[in-house]
Amino acid sequence: MSVPRLIVFDLDFTLWDCGGVWCDCLSPPFRVRDRRIEDRTGRLVRLYDDVHDILTHCDEQAISIALASRTQQPDWARELLGHLDITHRFAFAEIYPSSKLRHFAALQQASGLAYKEMLFFDDEMRNIDEVGGLGVASIYVRDGMTAELFHASLNEFAER
């Protein structure tokens, strides 16, 4: 069975929910209390329920993982990743305002992998279309990452 050599995740509405807004719409400073992360207005930042299990699966299968986020507030996104204690899980992180095409060009250069060896998850169809055009297997995430979507996508990738 063929598995992707690199799995790339978007952040907002893909790996996490920031109280129903993009992370660059939050209001720092962030407060961490009892493993809960809130912004100044009380918006809760949380990973979707299956994300830890998905990241663990990637670790267990020795699949490299990366982030591609075009947030206008990359420092906030990195701070939230730190508060969520998942920064170390990602081999690569392209987090800055730009096209996903630029993110993937940087990921390809940094990883040395071909686009056809990558699997990408994002909640925006325009990103799916753009990155899919590179030859990256690109999966639309409708309501946050789930284990069901993740494993079905791995199966689809293997059948390509």
Residue 129 among the catalytic residues: no
Cβ partners under 8 Å of residue 129, min gap 6: 138
pLDDT of residue 1: 58
| Res. 34 pLDDT band, cuts 50 70 90 | confident
Set 10, 17, 39, 123: catalytic member? 10
- Its pTM stands at 0.96
Are 25 and 56 spatial neighbours (Cβ–Cβ below 8 Å)?
no
CB 13 within 8 A of CB 21: no
Model confidence at 30: pLDDT above 70 = yes
Which residue segments constitute the domains of the chain, with CATH numbers given? 6-16+47-159 (3.40.50.1000)
Selected catalytic residue, list 12, 17, 39, 122: 12
| Percent of the chain surpassing pLDDT 90 | 96
The tens digit of pLDDT for each residue in 100-140 reads 999 999 999 999 999 999 999 999 999 999 999 999 999 99
Q: Count Cβ atoms below 10 Å from residue 151 Cβ, excluding itself.
A: 13
Cβ–Cβ < 8 Å for 70, 11: no
Q: Is 5 helix (H, G, I), strand (E, B) or coil?
A: coil
Is the pLDDT confidence value at 35 over 80?
A: no
CA distance 155 to 160: 9
- Mean local confidence (pLDDT), 41-52: 96
50 is catalytic: no
